[in-house]
Amino acid sequence: MKKVSIVMGSDSDLPVIQKAIAILNELEIPFEVHVFSAHRTPEQARTFSLEARDKGFGVLIAAAGMAAHLAGAIAANTTLPVIGIPCKGPVLDGLDALLSTVQMPSGIPVATVGVNNGANAALLAAEILSVGDAELTQRLQQKRERDTAAVLEKDAGIAARL
């Protein structure tokens, strides 16, 4: 199976990507985690992006906060699908990172999930990889059913908590 890479702009973004890591583990998808910054280590981010396809990656996830150019900088150097996670920073509640990540010019797409939504980034990566992979498709379907059952359990228990 192709690997997923998770790149974060700083190790301070780790709490956000922990949610992605948990889901990739749950779905038995191989992954690597790196810290590269569009601004602090631009050469390393560029080299990683250029080599990603040959290194066996199928989807790249990039998490960054503030002036969050990491996902776009990675997407500029690969035709692999790139998923951006805008991370909430100390000011502006993540709106800065959201706009920096989502407002890409035509021709260089970044599939941007919600602020701090590492879970959706991992699920979207899994859905992309599941195209043409029947076993992963089945694991995704089973996860969806577990998640649905968990919500229905909350519905059944909510009255007792009021």
Residues 6 or more apart whose CB falls under 8 angstroms from that of 90 comprise: none
In this structure, the number of other CB atoms found within 10 A of the CB of residue 21 comes to 16
Does 110 contact ligand RP5 by CB under 6 A? no
The pair phi, psi for residue 97, each rounded to 5°, is -70, -35
Backbone angles phi, psi at 104, to 5 degrees: -85, 150
Cβ proximity to ligand RP5: between 59 and 85 the closer is 85
Task: Work out whether 87 is an interface residue with ligand RP5 (CB under 6 A).
Answer: yes
Among 66, 75, 110, 140, binds ligand RP5 (CB under 6 A): 66
Among the listed residues 58, 65, 81, 86, the single contact to ligand RP5 using CB under 6 A: 65
Please report, as ranges, the residues that interact with ligand RP5 according to CB under 6 A: 9-10, 12-13, 37, 64-66, 87, 89
